[in-house]
């Protein structure tokens, strides 16, 4: 019988060093996630799940939309982010306390945001908690998951239920006519950008005088 150790494959010292470095970096990443310094509101802190049609805005676009929402909502205003979690995150990251905001989302990973998270499935557009009163938000920002008339018309039901009047919609340029008919919104000059290049051209639409033109 030979020595058992002879049968165990050995890693080279170079591979071992690389592996050790990888584990140290991994521990540092995990440590950051649990440390108080980790920014739970940074755009991208929840990774995109393409099965859920998740395509996050670039940081710049999320900031622009968040700034627009704050201006449109006014002092002490209420903002609803419907299927637009990056705008919610940017609002929480950037601004003071002179507004309130809710995130309506299908992806339950966003429930880490506590009471401001409202589970939302566009297929049941008015299936909302009782404490979400009609026409109780100064502005609603929405970015429906699919470029279909069915998805937009159902999301539009939610938007019309929630808003006091102002609507900021982000969706494909091909949805322009449906958006105008369902929500009375017009295409803005501002072009939203995403962290990845998308095949479809995206645009913003509003029904009020916005800073996005
Ligand atoms: C096109 S992405 C819009 C995200 C936006 N660009 C952002 O960065 O915040 C569509 C969003 O719809 C959500 N979603 C997926 N399925 C949904 C459903 N059945 N009902 C409502 N929202 C859904 C996704 O989780 C995702 O946040």
Q: What's the confidence (pLDDT) of residue 167?
A: 98
Q: What's the confidence (pLDDT) of residue 79?
A: 98
Q: What's the confidence (pLDDT) of residue 133?
A: 98
- If you average pLDDT over residues 40-46, what whole number do you get? 87
Is any atom of ligand 1 closer than 6 Å to the C-beta of 56?
yes
Question: Are the C-beta atoms of 81 and 101 separated by less than 8 Å?
Answer: yes
Mean residue pLDDT across the chain: 89
Is any atom of ligand 1 closer than 6 Å to the C-beta of 185?
no
Q: Which atom of ligand 1 is nearest to the CA of 62?
A: 8
Q: How many CA atoms lie within 13 A of 190 on its CB side?
A: 21
Which of the four pLDDT bands, split at 50, 70 and 90, describes residue 16? Answer: confident
Q: Are residues 67 and 141 in the same domain?
A: yes
Where residue 110 sits, what CATH number does that domain have?
Answer: 3.40.50.150
CA of 54 to the centre of ligand 1 (A): 6
Q: Are residues 9 and 85 in the same domain?
A: no
Is any atom of ligand 1 closer than 6 Å to the C-beta of 83?
yes
Residue 128 lies in a domain: yes
Residue 135 lies in a domain: yes
Residue 39 lies in a domain: no
CB contact set of 18 (below 8 Å; sequence gap of 6+): none
Residue 45 lies in a domain: no
- If you average pLDDT over residues 114-125, what whole number do you get? 98
Q: Are residues 71 and 176 in the same domain?
A: yes
pLDDT digits (tens, 9 = 90+) for 150-204: 999 999 999 999 999 999 999 999 999 999 999 999 999 999 999 998 889 999 9
Q: Are residues 119 and 194 in the same domain?
A: yes
Domains identified in the chain, total number: 2
Is any atom of ligand 1 closer than 6 Å to the C-beta of 116?
no
CA of 39 to the centre of ligand 1 (A): 21
**Interior/surface letters 39-54, b for 16+ CB within 10 angstroms, e for the rest:** eeeebebbeeeeeeeb
C-alpha Rg value of the chain to the nearest Å: 22
Q: Are residues 62 and 9 in the same domain?
A: no
Q: Which position has the token pair 């049609």? A: 53
- If you average pLDDT over residues 14-29, what whole number do you get? 66
- Residue 103 has phi, psi (to 5 degrees) of -115, 115
Going by C-alpha positions, the residue among 115, 77, 113 that lies closest to residue 98 is 77
Lowest mean pLDDT segment, chosen from 14-28, 106-120, 160-174: 14-28
Q: Measured between alpha carbons, how far is 61 from 87 in angstroms, rounded to an integer? A: 9
Q: Are residues 99 and 200 in the same domain?
A: yes
Q: Are residues 30 and 87 in the same domain?
A: no
Q: Are residues 63 and 162 in the same domain?
A: yes
CA-closest residue to ligand 1 atom 27 = 83
Residue 212 lies in a domain: no
- If you average pLDDT over residues 38-58, what whole number do you get? 89
Residue 211 lies in a domain: no
Is any atom of ligand 1 closer than 6 Å to the C-beta of 44?
no
Q: Are residues 14 and 97 in the same domain?
A: no
Q: Are residues 77 and 172 in the same domain?
A: yes
Q: Are residues 153 and 111 in the same domain?
A: yes
Q: Are residues 132 and 191 in the same domain?
A: yes
Residue 44 lies in a domain: no
Which of the four pLDDT bands, split at 50, 70 and 90, describes residue 28? Answer: low
Lowest mean pLDDT segment, chosen from 9-18, 37-46, 159-168: 9-18
Retrieve residue 112's tokens. 């880490």
Q: What's the confidence (pLDDT) of residue 97?
A: 75
Q: Which domain holds residue 149?
A: 50-206
Retrieve residue 192's tokens. 């939203």
CA-closest residue to ligand 1 atom 15 = 52
């Amino acid at each position: 019988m030979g020595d058992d150790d002879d049968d165990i494959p050995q890693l080279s010292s170079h591979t071992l060093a690389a592996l050790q470095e990888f584990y140290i970096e991994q521990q540092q990443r995990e440590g950051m996630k649990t440390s108080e310094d980790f920014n739970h509101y940074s755009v991208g802190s929840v990774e995109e799940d393409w099965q859920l049609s998740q395509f996050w805005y670039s940081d710049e676009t999320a900031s622009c939309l968040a700034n627009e929402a704050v201006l449109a909502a006014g002092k002490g205003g209420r903002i609803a982010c419907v299927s637009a979690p990056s705008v919610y995150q940017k609002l929480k990251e950037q601004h003071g306390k002179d507004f309130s905001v809710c995130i309506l989302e299908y992806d339950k990973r966003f429930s880490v945001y506590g009471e401001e998270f409202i589970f939302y499935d566009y297929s049941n557009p008015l299936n909302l908690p009782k404490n979400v009163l009609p026409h109780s938000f100064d502005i609603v920002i929405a970015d429906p998951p699919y470029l279909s008339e069915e998805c937009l018309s159902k999301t539009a039901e939610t938007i019309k239920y929630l808003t006091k009047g102002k609507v900021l919609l982000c969706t494909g340029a091909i949805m322009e006519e449906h958006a105008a008919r369902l929500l009375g919104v017009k295409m803005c000059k501002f072009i939203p950008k995403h962290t990845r290049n998308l095949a479809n051209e995206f645009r913003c639409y509003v029904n009020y005088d916005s800073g996005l033109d």
